Each structure stands twice: as C-alpha cells, then as structure tokens.
Structure 1
C-alpha cells in the first residue's frame, strides 16, 4: 500500500466527527463502488489507472463508527526532490447516501481529512473537482470555498444538463419543450427499434462511433480510447449500460450510460447518416429515460455539456424541459498548506492548460481552412 499505510485504521477528528479510514485494493474498491450515491467513472480505479498511468492511486473508505460514510479515490504524484506535488480528487469525495441529514457534515469531515493527510502531512497541493449537481446550491463547492480552497481552471463551456427521471413517463414527456415533443413524435413514426444490449455487443457501438468520428472529422478529447478497457475490466456491478437503436437490421444510433448511484451519466453517443432525418437521437434518449425511470435508485440523467455547440444546447435544453435543471460544473478547487507545493502545483496546472489551449487553437485553425 505504500505510504497510505499511515492512514489505515487511523482515527481522524474532522468537523466534529471521528472517522475511521481504511485503504482498499483496486479490485476491492471497484467491487464496492456501487454502494455510493455519488459514484462516477472518474472515481473508479479501472478508469483512473488507465487514464492517468503516471499517478499513484489511494482508495479510501471512511467510517463513522460502524457506518460506512463515504469514500474517495485520490490520484497523487510527488515532484522531484520532494518539492511538493499534486493530489487530485475528481468528482469526489463520494457519499453512500446523499439523503441523510448528516450528508453535508459527512462530506466536510472527509474533506478535512484529505486536507490534513495530503496538504499538511504529505506537503502536496490538494485539488478537488466538485461534481456538478442539479441544484442551485452546490454544497461541496461552497464548503471548499469556506475552508480556504482557491478557484483554479474551469471549463470553457461549464453548463451541465440534468433530466429528472424520478417522475412518471407522462410527467417526463410533458416536461419537454414543444419542439422536442414534436421531434419525438416524428421519430416514433419511423419504425425504429430500441434495444438494451449486453457488453458482447460493444463492437456494434464501436463501429458506429468510429464511423461517426471519421465522417465528422472532429478531434476526440474524451476518454473514448480507454472505453474498451473499462468495459472489459470493470466490476460487473458498476459496468456502463449499452443502448442501441435499429432501423430494420441496421444500427443507426447508440448510447453508453454510466448507471451508478442516484445519477446516470451519458458517456458516449454515436449515430450514422440515417439517424438525423429519422430523428433517432430523440427516440433513443426517450427510451433510455423510460428505462432509467424504472430503476429505483436513479433520480437524474446527466446529459453532460455541449462544448459550445448551439444545436447541442437546444437539443439537451429541450430534453431537460420544465422538470429538469441546467447548472454549471464548478471549477477545480485548490488548497496548499505550504508555499512550495502551491508554486509547484500551480505551475503543473498552468503547463497542462497551455497545452490544452494550444491544441484547441490548432484544431480551430484546421476547421477554418486556408481560404477562410
């Protein structure tokens, strides 16, 4: 376990709560991740280890007495000569039950522990990216500000779109805006077929996705290149679900949805040339929503963002409708207890942001072409 052994079975007095902290192996962490309301792929070892192989990973469980409170996967890397480094928690910590009266204090106690362990004892800059939530108040972001975390980089297009799937199908349909309902009705006249398929049909989705990216010629900044590894190696209790839409026997649209905790997340979608005139995207998302509404734990369907595309905003905003919510992804929040770790951490993040911005600029120039 390395230096995380220092925290095994330790008692941490944080925010008025005594937390017992246990470290888990990669296999055990992913096998129990389905317990958490806030679970997401960024908090899975099978995803993080493949996506950021240069980072060491700690997988922590927190108990208040015998009650499992929450958990956190922390990625960390120490700079040469011990000059600080980074500890990163993406979309965590995660709680077992967001509905408990103690949920806010549970989260705060875990964050207090992370500050003491990583920022103070290990002399790292601690960066926490709070998860977007379908509410105006983001208690995670508010608490991080309260205890001295500073805003880091944010997304250029931070809007996040949430569909309320905790209501009836009739209520969901009535919530859509008028144009979205019209497109859905039109799609239902096109003899499309919706299927929830198993991981053995992953090759169908891959073929659709690869053809789409080749056709549209846009750079893929997502983690799609790690998707097959994720699907092949993830614990079955938390494996993403695959949904396909067919016209006759041809796959015209597909979606991969992370269905864990109380929020399902739209990870990837793909269509072919026939999908747009047949409005297969409306058909697919509607049937996904109906499937999600029958899962007792799922309350929200997180559609992700738009990357600034107006058409995508209109599509997702119409689906969110009156019952859903459009909120924003908070910026990364940084805390350094010591000066050198702050300097090192901010330099590392600056280098990453410059690289990303240069990549976007080159891509924009390519899209404009020499005659524009």
Structure 2
C-alpha cells in the first residue's frame, strides 16, 4: 500500500447540489444506489446530508455522502451507508483514499463535534480488498458493531459471456425460465414513473394477498425514482398477458454492481413463471450497461426460505458484507448512541400501537 505521507490530500466537506453529486458519483465503480442524492434526500431529508470529497494531485479520489442525525444539541451520529467510494472506474480500489476519507470524517465528526461516526463500507468479506479495509478500520480505531446483522446476499458474476452465465443457472431454475419463455409473456421495460406506478399497483396486490408486514415502503422508492438523475434511474420490468400484469422487478445499475431492489408477483404470475423471465431480462440489461455483478438484494434462508431458494438457483455466490463500524470519542459515547436509538425505537413502537 502506498505510504500515506507521500500523498498530498485536499478534502472538503459540504452539502452539494444533486447534479454536482451525481456527476461525481458516476465516476466511481463502487458508487451505488444508497449513495445517490435522491436516496438520501427522500429517505433522510436533504437538510441532513453533507458530502465529503477527497482529492490528490490527479483529481478526486474518494467521495462519501453522509447523513447527520442529531440527538439533542450536543450529540449526534454521522452515518455513511455503503461508502466511502474509492474505486474510480477502470482503476483499482484505492486503499490510501479509503483511509484518508475515513480519517477526514473522523476529524470532523468524532474529534471536533464529539459525535459517533458510523460506516458501512461497500465491501464484502469475500472481496480481495476486504482484509486491507479491515486493517485500515482497525488502525483508525473503528469497532465493529456486533448488534448490527451484516447484509448477506447472493452475487451473480456478469463478466462472463451470457451463454456461460446461463449455464451456471441451476437446472430446475433454467427449466422454469424456458417454460416462462414459451408462455408468450409481454415484457415492458423502462425507467418512467408511470411504469413504476404500475409496479406499485401489482406490489400492493401481492401484499394484500400475502398479508405480511414489511419495512419496505414501495412508495418511497417511487419518490426516489422521481428525484434520481437520468443515468441513475431504477430499471422497471413488467411481464403480463392480455392486459393483466403477472410480475414486476425493479433494479438499480449505479456503479459496477446492479442491485435487485423490489419484486412483485401476481396470482397469474405464479402459473406463468414470469419472475424467472424478468430476472433473466435484468441480467441481460445489467450486463449490457457494463455491470460486473448482480446483487440479488439480500437473503435470509431461515426467515424466507422460498425467496432464498429462488435466488440461490441463479448461479451466484453467497457473500457477506463487512458489517457496520463505529468510532466515537469514547466508549461512553457509543453506548449513549445505542441507548438513544433503543429509546427512539421503543417510542416509535409505542406510538404505532396507540394508532392501532
């Protein structure tokens, strides 16, 4: 790893306009949906966002969108989800930029403001950069938050030719795909809000049929879609027949990894196997726009074995995110943050029960 002292860094931390940030994010292969301005603005509120930009003599080397959450007047947490981004397109992952980005964030939020800095790097334990990233985090004093369950998913390699990607499909999965192809389904794809609106209708129908609770707010995703820059728009694909929707999927292709965000299947789609055809169409699309991987959006074999079985048939490898890391001016500050969050969750749950 290049000596940190050999590089002259320049950093700035300030809120950036949506287009400014989108242009920067587009330069990074490890850019992702959760680092988009639209995601942060809609999910957290634009006033809570600020942006770190780290440069060396050759230009921008690292960026991070930061959510700022205050607990009272003197305390808070700075949260970076799936960042900082440090791998420029067509270049290697930059360990020194990763270190400098974290160091700069720590200087502002931990040492100056006395807040807690919380980071979820966009890296998986199986990545070759993982050991270096863990070493950097440890050297800077970050601690892994054992209370946070790391994101677990299946990642499909898209760098091989499509013929090889198809051969890696499980035999039964491939048979279902062939059957869906023969069913004469009509596929509509695009990024228009109207198309997303049709997906929302199908999603509502599915949720009404299944009658289970979820933390996913599909209408929030629709609002995010309306705010995303054109190159960042989510891809919506719908399958139907004779004017009736059978299934729909929503993916994102920010950075070099596509992510499966949302899916819905209607009653007819269970018979026509439309979801198999749509997932294959998403693989074709993501590969066509240069994605190296397709992240299937999380798995939980114990709680949701049916979805796990479907995703595990797509020829990918199971991977585990590095986890959530925290740095505070003291251990007491970290404990205070966790206590405040537990109190907020309890208050929210109490209010929800009252409303019922």
TM-score category by the smaller chain?
0.7 to 0.9
CA distance in structure 1 between the aligned counterparts of 2:322 and 2:277, rounded to whole angstroms: 31
**Paired residue secondary structure (2:264):** strand
2:304 aligns with: 309
User: Shift of the alpha carbon at 1:19?
Assistant: 2.1
**Paired residue secondary structure (1:58):** strand
CA distance in structure 2 between the aligned counterparts of 1:54 and 1:347, rounded to whole angstroms: 26
What does residue range 69-84 of structure 1 map to in structure 2 within 5 Å? 69-82=61-74, 84=75
CA distance in structure 1 between the aligned counterparts of 2:135 and 2:124, rounded to whole angstroms: 12
Q: Is the 8 A contact 2:40 2:46 kept in 1?
A: no
**Paired residue secondary structure (2:114):** coil
Unaligned runs of 5+ residues in structure 2 are: none
Closer, same or farther: CA 88–16 of 1 in aligned 2, 3 Å: farther
2:9 aligns with: 19
CA distance in structure 2 between the aligned counterparts of 1:278 and 1:316, rounded to whole angstroms: 18
What does residue range 150-169 of structure 1 map to in structure 2 within 5 Å? 150-153=143-146, 156=149, 158-169=151-162
CA distance in structure 2 between the aligned counterparts of 1:72 and 1:330, rounded to whole angstroms: 17
Matched, 1:45 2:40: no
CA distance in structure 2 between the aligned counterparts of 1:14 and 1:206, rounded to whole angstroms: 49
**Paired residue secondary structure (1:176):** coil
CA distance in structure 2 between the aligned counterparts of 1:91 and 1:325, rounded to whole angstroms: 20
Find the partner of 2:334 among 339, 342, 359: 342
CA deviation profile, 1:229-259 (whole Å, cap 9, x unmatched): 1111221121111111122332211111111
Closer, same or farther: CA 238–198 of 1 in aligned 2, 3 Å: closer
User: Shift of the alpha carbon at 1:89?
Assistant: 0.7
What does residue range 361-372 of structure 1 map to in structure 2 within 5 Å? none
Q: Is the 8 A contact 2:84 2:122 kept in 1?
A: no
Matched, 1:181 2:171: no
Unaligned runs of 5+ residues in structure 1 are: 1-12, 363-372
1:243 aligns with: 237
CA distance in structure 2 between the aligned counterparts of 1:14 and 1:348, rounded to whole angstroms: 36
1:144 aligns with: 137
Find the partner of 1:289 among 283, 292, 297: 283
In the superposition, the TM-score normalised over structure 1's length comes to 0.83
What does residue range 171-210 of structure 1 map to in structure 2 within 5 Å? 171-199=164-192, 200-210=194-204
- RMSD (CA atoms): 2.6
Closer, same or farther: CA 98–150 of 1 in aligned 2, 3 Å: farther
CA deviation profile, 1:301-323 (whole Å, cap 9, x unmatched): 1111134311111111110x2xx
CA deviation profile, 1:34-76 (whole Å, cap 9, x unmatched): 2221222221222222212397211122111241112101111
CA distance in structure 2 between the aligned counterparts of 1:67 and 1:57, rounded to whole angstroms: 23
**Paired residue secondary structure (1:215):** helix
Closer, same or farther: CA 81–154 of 1 in aligned 2, 3 Å: closer
Q: Is the 8 A contact 1:168 1:293 kept in 2?
A: no
User: Shift of the alpha carbon at 1:193?
Assistant: 2.5
Closer, same or farther: CA 184–113 of 1 in aligned 2, 3 Å: same
Q: How many residues align?
A: 342
CA distance in structure 1 between the aligned counterparts of 2:305 and 2:101, rounded to whole angstroms: 39
In the superposition, the TM-score normalised over structure 2's length comes to 0.87
Q: Is the 8 A contact 1:132 1:330 kept in 2?
A: yes
Q: Is the 8 A contact 1:275 1:281 kept in 2?
A: yes
